[in-house]
Chains A and B, each alone.
Chain A
């Protein structure tokens, strides 16, 4: 028992959480007592004896779990424990529940965790649609409804879409660039373990007095600053999700910039690598803004600062500026990695080089630059100074240009190819082009101030974000999961079940989200538990679509679990792709490569006689270059 307490792991982690939480409560009690304040402050926004342990408890868990052991020993001048690779690789399923520094294990930890939250958030969507199937309130009351759509959005955005891309890239990207791991494996593990904590804080807010946070995922002040305790759970959950996101993005940046295999110039990087480079540039610079915005809300709530309290000289609208300065780039954080996935899938299954590869990469960088200059298009009716509207409209519409380049280049890639549609990944990639085009079109309409004035905060917005986030991002996520499933698990998934999942998802997406445009334009506001009777029939149809969409995800879940366990063994390169991750076994060896590959050409040289992307160890070994030293392996 004593050994279990000393060893990093779950027992020490839970004890650490308890001890740190108790310390947090004690700190509040002592400080309030010294200050002569009543010790238990339970105004709805206060509860310092809950908020402080919500900060210290998770940190205590991370420390106990072993996330900081190496660094703390090093910083304290203690002898560090020599790396014996016991935290590398996974021999049984139990290893996925441990502190592990192997990027492949972390990738799978990310994907499984985020899909858990996807199904929880999806269940909430089902409840929301059940409530909205008819006018009036039947299933949940107004307060619960507000909590449900808020948590649904927050789970999907912060602990599903953003991190699942980090998970896929975690697994694939080091292999793709010929690196043995990420640049900072311990930081990588810490990034992952912060994520479930964020998700638990979001879900745990249902236990708070007053219910879960209910001011929407946007949490506009001053509704959020005056909301019950659950809002603080949101404020803090965002800090953990955000810190996780920033650390991962730094890790990707350093990995991509410094750890590419010899010969892999920037213009020989696969587009998935370009996409994650662009995404990481957005994350490191934009995410601190939402962290700051949520801290300011938390301080207004708990410390009685007055950032967003007009009576105390605060400025209400500044919350929205800071929030959207992150949350618009976040839209691209949730889309660019998907663009990368689609490029890989389409090129491979059309057996064609990417059409206009360099322009594709430059378009990603163009989106990064433009996306910092469009945030106020979320605020056309917010009452901000009115001159900002037209410039932001122009930049917003211009962002359609690089996006259009990507769509047309994917289409161009198909021409004169040999298109194979047997893979579910390719089906999702092709359908993505259609649904994302619709989402893009409604986005251009929303960018136009006069149209936006009418439809802003209506179901048209709900339709648009679901077309780009579900029809866009989630389709690319499915494409990515199916595409790299054989590589990650060493097994093939069932294509027949995959096709059922695909057609059901496509049908469900259209039936659910297309009519939302119509009711929105016709006068139905968003975020309402009850609505005018005239929208009843369309909403019933929308709910039916949503239930189909929800049910068919169970087919996906079944397919993934059963195929992972019992699927036929996968070959190294079932799709006959050219990038490096397919040139190693499925699943890859524990340190990825016996010897770092040498990159000699572009990543998509389909049909070019004699062209090679990379030369692996043991083949074409006429030139031996000295083994490069790579950070993170010592």
Chain B
């Protein structure tokens, strides 16, 4: 049955379509500016997935449109098609090949995930405090100095954000860094990023948090270590005590032993 199909031509069409779609889609910078060491790794993963997806999509399109062109009933033809009930080899193939593709994707994603979350030697720790509808930041390594609505970090040094929500869930997203993490009341969550481009960015809240959600933004400045030191030295306020109380042990990567939880 397969022998009666122009398999070589169909495969060629699939490859050509894959190449055309990939060429266009890989050349577009979908995720915007890259400003962290994680960004190019995530974008590479995206591009690999675009090519694999383009192949699957092209295969489906070629199979579909060839069938529609070749096996469309002539007007007035009331006969039935050929009574083919299946083909074991083909069915095994379209079970196994997608399995291999997705397992490859899973392995690749896993390695990227490990890579972007790897802890560096001497990270800067920054406390993130979120509340309806504002962001503020504390620098525990610098005497807990406090900044409202403006986050400064040095370039090319890993930053560990420890996030603490005061009321409802918020989510911390800097698109150029490609990182996002929910701030959850009652626990402390962590996100790791190494900014590698000096510039000004926007911190966006991405978890619906109420009326002011759309406007819950903060300014993010990535600057040279010298400028960063100067800016920190200029911070006079300390983190308010009620915010200090929201700082807890990170249970996300260090779950409490069973039985040790609770109030």
Please determine whether B168 and A223 come into contact, CB atoms closer than 8 angstroms. Answer: yes
Interface string of A439-474 (1 = CB under 8 A from B): 001001100111101101110000000000000000
Q: How large is the interface on A (under 10, 10 to 19, 20 to 34, 35 or more residues)?
A: 35 or more
Q: Is the CB of B206 within 8 A of A525?
A: yes
Chain B residues positioned under 8 Å from A441 (CB to CB) = 53, 56-57
* In contact, A381 and B180 (Cβ under 8 angstroms): yes
B interface footprint on A596-634 (CB within 8 Å = 1, 0 otherwise): 000000000111100100000000000000000000000
**Which parts of B206-257 form the interface with A (CB within 8 Å)?**
206-215, 251-253, 255
Contact, CB under 8 Å: B252 / A384:
yes
Does A433 have its Cβ within 8 Å of any Cβ on chain B? yes
Residues of B within 8 A of A449 (CB): 109-110, 113
- Roughly how many angstroms separate A445 CA and B5 CA in the complex, as a whole number? 32
Cβ of B175 within 8 Å of any chain A Cβ, yes or no, is: yes
Question: Does residue A514 face the partner (Cβ distance < 8 Å to B)?
Answer: no
Counting contact residues on chain B (CB < 8 A from A), the size range is 35 or more
Whether a CB of chain B sits under 8 angstroms from the CB of A407 is yes
Q: Are B53 and A444 in contact (CB-based, < 8 A)?
A: yes
A385, closest chain B residue (CB) = B255
For the complex, what is the distance from the CA of A549 to the CA of B57, rounded to whole Å?
A: 24
Complex: how many Å from CA A606 to CA B81? 7
- Point out the residue from A404, A415, A605 that lies within 8 Å of B5, measured CB to CB: A415
Cβ of B120 under 8 Å from chain A? no
Picked from A418, A437, A529, the residue with its CB within 8 Å of the CB of B81 is A418
Interface residue SS majority, chain B: mixed
**Are A412 and B86 interface neighbours, CB within 8 A?**
yes
B89-97, B136-144, B145-153: which one contacts chain A? B89-97
A407 touches B185 (CB 8 A): no
Our pick among B95, B106, B262 for the contact of A448 (Cβ within 8 Å) is: B106
Chain A contacts for B63, CB-based, 8 A:
408, 411
Beta-carbon contacts of B196-210 to A below 8 Å, as 1s and 0s?
000000001111111
Q: Which of A135-188 contact B (CB under 8 A)?
A: 142-143, 146
**One of A74-82, A120-128, A311-319 at the interface:** A311-319
B19 close to A (CB within 8 Å):
no
A92 sits at the interface (CB 8 A): no
Asked if B9 is at the interface (CB within 8 A of a chain A CB), the reply is no
Residues on the B chain within 8 Å of A382, using CB:
182, 184
B-facing mask of A270-284, CB < 8 A → 1, else 0?
000000000000000
Report the Cα distance A457→B205, complex, angstroms: 10
Q: Does residue A304 face the partner (Cβ distance < 8 Å to B)?
A: no
A222 at the interface (CB under 8 A from B): yes
> Which residues of B are at the interface with A, using a C-beta cutoff of 8 A?
1, 4-5, 30-32, 38, 41-42, 45-46, 49, 53, 56-57, 60-61, 63-64, 67-68, 71-73, 77-87, 90-91, 94-95, 98-99, 102-103, 105-106, 109-110, 112-113, 116, 163, 167-169, 171, 173, 175, 178-187, 189, 204-215, 251-253, 255, 262-263
Chain A residues packing against B (C-beta within 8 Å): 142-143, 146, 215-216, 220, 222-223, 226, 310-317, 350-359, 381-386, 389-390, 393-394, 397-398, 400-401, 404-405, 407-409, 411-412, 414-421, 430, 433-434, 437-438, 441, 444-445, 448-451, 453-454, 456-458, 518, 521-523, 525-531, 576, 605-608, 611
In the complex, 29 of the A-B residue pairs with CB atoms within 8 angstroms, ordered by the A residue number, are: A146-B211, A146-B213, A220-B168, A222-B185, A316-B185, A352-B83, A359-B91, A359-B95, A381-B171, A381-B182, A383-B182, A383-B252, A390-B106, A393-B106, A411-B64, A416-B71, A416-B81, A419-B68, A420-B73, A438-B57, A444-B102, A450-B42, A451-B49, A451-B109, A453-B180, A454-B42, A454-B180, A456-B206, A576-B78
